[in-house]
Chains A and B, each alone.
Chain A
Amino acid sequence: MADLTLSNIVKNYGPVEVLKNIDLHVPDGEFVVFVGPSGCGKSTLLRAIAGLEDLSGGSIKIGGEDVADRAPAQRGIAMVFQTYALYPHKSVFDNMAYGLKLARRPRDQIRAEVMKVAKILELEALLDRKPAQLSGGQRQRVAIGRAIVRDPKVFLFDEPLSNLDAALRGQMRIEIADLHARLKATMVYVTHDQIEAMTMADRIVVLNAGRIEQQGAPLELYHHPANLFVAGFLGAPSMNFVPARAIGASAAGAEIEVEGIGRLTVPVDGAPAAGTALTLGLRPHDFSLERGGMDCEIDTVLVEPLGHETIVYGALRDGGPRMTIALEGGPLLRTGVKTRFRFDPADCHLFGPDGIAYRRRKQHFTPLASGASEQGANP
């Protein structure tokens, strides 16, 4: 077990900068998730840590040792791939044993290690099978088993669940989280699925266009996104953005005017100067029909009753910004009708002209002392 330090990582494909000066420290035992849109560089960064991608600059330290010049197998990492990448011509046992065989470990030791891991993952009955004879979930367990057998300092996961169906994905998510709890290993996990990120991570690193946009505990990022990108990326349905204008500041926060809503005071620190063009952010789940000090009228275009909640799509005023609203339960709403929704200004997010968020005053959660945040909150 070891920590992982990335400093000043740069990667170019010809003139294209894929990774731009990435600095990141992952303490021992932490579960870090890289998220971002496709092409943001998250997989490239993971492969660079594995040594599968040559760097254009920067250093990678695992457990304090600089590994940038080492072959993948010498870095003390193990990797689980999106397509499982099991060797189709080898049995499950041989797939798991391959790394140790190449490292010329004694036979009985290999056998013992593989059996131990097979037991943890309940793969004992499958050891003689070929990958083609396994189900998707079993293959992914073998791929994870192959990683564990290597007893790595750092586990790397490259979108390991994206080839599984929804039900299996939920189950494997729990298994991996459970595995992390038991092994207490350092894990780096790449995904584009924010539910995986929110539920599994100790810390989320949001990447965009080769840069780290923000990193922090999942709920910290959810409730205090640092900028428009992170605010829009995390949370489903994603945050509504409405143009606004600053008109003044008070002890209560920033006073702003929003066309179609009116004037309101958003409790944030560092109020902007009057006249500044701002963006107001409103999460769909922060609306309701009864509660809240402000209201706005939405032209509903589509109502999706999902049972436990109802999603409403519409526009703020005629031709105004599109809005998505999520209401608890199944209130009776009709399409094509103007409806008033209420919200609390304390729930609002406010972003400056550069897209940077003003720090919200509302505390939405209490971080635990250990650094591991409260889990299971599905936004």
Chain B
Amino acid sequence: MSAAKPRKRASGWSLFIYVALAAYAASAIFPVLLVVYNSIKSKKAIFGQPLSLPGPGTIDFRGYETVWEAANFPRYFLNSGIVTLGSLGLTLLFGVMAAYALTEFRFRMSRWLSLYITIGLMVPIRLGTVAILKLVMALGLMNTPTALILVYTAMNLPVTVLILSVFMNTVSQDLKNAARVDGAGEYRILFGHVIPLIRPAIATVAVFTMIPVWNDLWFPLILANSEATKTVILGAQQFVGQYFKDWNAMLAALTLSIVPTLILYLLFSRQLIAGLTRGAVK
């Protein structure tokens, strides 16, 4: 009897915990789902029964038709893709190289260089916007994806170098030395041996650098505001600003900008969270 008592209390407590967690989970996901499923409902249903799921009588793709006619979302997706993948590629390539140089070799400047790169972790790049704008104009890169790619690469390099350095330090020194004895050059050791071993870390860094780039409004707004170079977020922002009376169109545009992130997240959330918690998650 006496042993059963605390157990009972514990199960009441844990019921409370599960209810609280479920409630919080609902509040985290419901607003997103609400927008997504209302985007394929008729205007009447959106306002009449905003909470109910789309059914046979209420399904309506008019919002998407308006978006298709009024804005060039395929183009925006392409732009976002180019900018995101372009900066991702450069960030990873150069970040991996720099992290390898800073972790593998001891040289006089290495401490100072690490410190120099750390500045970028603490200072938001936006504060340099005025000079970035001048620089981009002087280089003739206004309204080009190149400008965004370079800025985002600079923005993401510090955190990339930092995280990759941590993981590169875990690669066995013996293994690298074995490759050296076997006659591999430093670049071959980096790309042939070190990178395959820290692939999970690279995947984490990849998602981490992609998300803020894909989601950013500031730099597209300032550096690439033209119709031809707009990103999805900027396109959606301007579209929603213009069509704030057409709820179908607004919800459709928002859904379009949510869905890719959502898919990416569903695919990688496990790896992402594992990386975030530095592999402590089993």
For B132, list chain A residues within 8 Å (CB). none
Judged by a CB distance under 8 angstroms, whether A63 is at the interface is: no
> Are B177 and A52 in contact, CB atoms less than 8 angstroms apart?
yes
> Are B181 and A99 in contact, CB atoms less than 8 angstroms apart?
yes
Bound together, the chains give a CA A172 to CA B175 distance in angstroms of 21
B178, B196, B197 — most chain A CB neighbours (10 Å): B178
For B172, list chain A residues within 8 Å (CB). 83, 85
> Are A83 and B174 in contact, CB atoms less than 8 angstroms apart?
yes
Bound together, the chains give a CA A81 to CA B182 distance in angstroms of 13
Judged by a CB distance under 8 angstroms, whether A313 is at the interface is: no
B172 → chain A closest CB, angstroms: 6
Across the interface, name the chain B residue whose C-beta is closest to A96. Answer: B182
> Are A98 and B182 in contact, CB atoms less than 8 angstroms apart?
yes
Across the interface, name the chain A residue whose C-beta is closest to B197. Answer: A88
> Are B196 and A73 in contact, CB atoms less than 8 angstroms apart?
no
> Are B175 and A87 in contact, CB atoms less than 8 angstroms apart?
yes
Contact of A87 among B177, B179, B181, B183 (CB under 8 A): B179
- 0/1 interface trace, chain A 141-178, chain B, CB 8 Å (1 if under): 00000100010000000100000000000000000000
For B175, list chain A residues within 8 Å (CB). 81, 83, 85-87
For B182, list chain A residues within 8 Å (CB). 73, 98-99, 102, 146, 150
Judged by a CB distance under 8 angstroms, whether B193 is at the interface is: yes
Q: Is the interface of B mostly helix, strand, loop or mixed?
A: helix
> Are A72 and B181 in contact, CB atoms less than 8 angstroms apart?
yes
- 0/1 interface trace, chain A 58-94, chain B, CB 8 Å (1 if under): 0000000000000111100111011111111100000
> Are B180 and A81 in contact, CB atoms less than 8 angstroms apart?
no
> Are A82 and B179 in contact, CB atoms less than 8 angstroms apart?
no
For B206, list chain A residues within 8 Å (CB). none
For B196, list chain A residues within 8 Å (CB). 89
Chain B positions 176-203 with a Cβ under 8 Å from a chain A Cβ = 177-184, 188, 193, 196-197
Across the interface, name the chain B residue whose C-beta is closest to A75. Answer: B181
A265 → chain B closest CB, angstroms: 52
Judged by a CB distance under 8 angstroms, whether A50 is at the interface is: yes
Judged by a CB distance under 8 angstroms, whether A132 is at the interface is: no
Bound together, the chains give a CA A158 to CA B193 distance in angstroms of 21
A91 → chain B closest CB, angstroms: 14
For A81, list chain B residues within 8 Å (CB). 174-175, 177-178
Bound together, the chains give a CA A49 to CA B196 distance in angstroms of 29
Interface size of A by CB at 8 A reads: 27
- 0/1 interface trace, chain A 270-306, chain B, CB 8 Å (1 if under): 0000000000000000000000000000000000000
For A111, list chain B residues within 8 Å (CB). none
Contact of B180 among A73, A83, A89, A103 (CB under 8 A): A73
For A77, list chain B residues within 8 Å (CB). 181
Bound together, the chains give a CA A99 to CA B181 distance in angstroms of 8
- 0/1 interface trace, chain B 198-212, chain A, CB 8 Å (1 if under): 000000000000000
Bound together, the chains give a CA A87 to CA B189 distance in angstroms of 11
B190 → chain A closest CB, angstroms: 14
For B197, list chain A residues within 8 Å (CB). 88-89
B195 → chain A closest CB, angstroms: 10
For A103, list chain B residues within 8 Å (CB). 183
For B183, list chain A residues within 8 Å (CB). 71-74, 99, 102-103
For A88, list chain B residues within 8 Å (CB). 197
Bound together, the chains give a CA A88 to CA B177 distance in angstroms of 14
Across the interface, name the chain A residue whose C-beta is closest to B199. Answer: A89
Bound together, the chains give a CA A327 to CA B235 distance in angstroms of 89
Report if A47-B180 is in contact (Cβ < 8 Å); known contacts: A83-B172, A87-B193, A89-B196: no
B172, B181, B183, B197 — most chain A CB neighbours (10 Å): B181
Enumerate chain A interface residues (CB-CB to B < 8 A): 47, 50-52, 71-74, 77-79, 81-89, 98-99, 102-103, 146, 150, 158
Pairs A–B under 8 Å by Cβ, sample size 5? A73-B182, A84-B174, A86-B175, A89-B197, A98-B179
Known: A73-B183, A79-B178. 19 other contacts (CB 8 A): A52-B177, A52-B181, A72-B177, A72-B180, A73-B181, A73-B182, A73-B184, A74-B183, A77-B181, A79-B181, A81-B177, A81-B178, A85-B172, A85-B177, A86-B175, A98-B179, A99-B181, A99-B182, A158-B174
Enumerate chain B interface residues (CB-CB to A < 8 A): 172, 174-175, 177-184, 188, 193, 196-197
* Minimum-distance CB pairs A-B, first 3: A73-B183, A85-B174, A99-B182
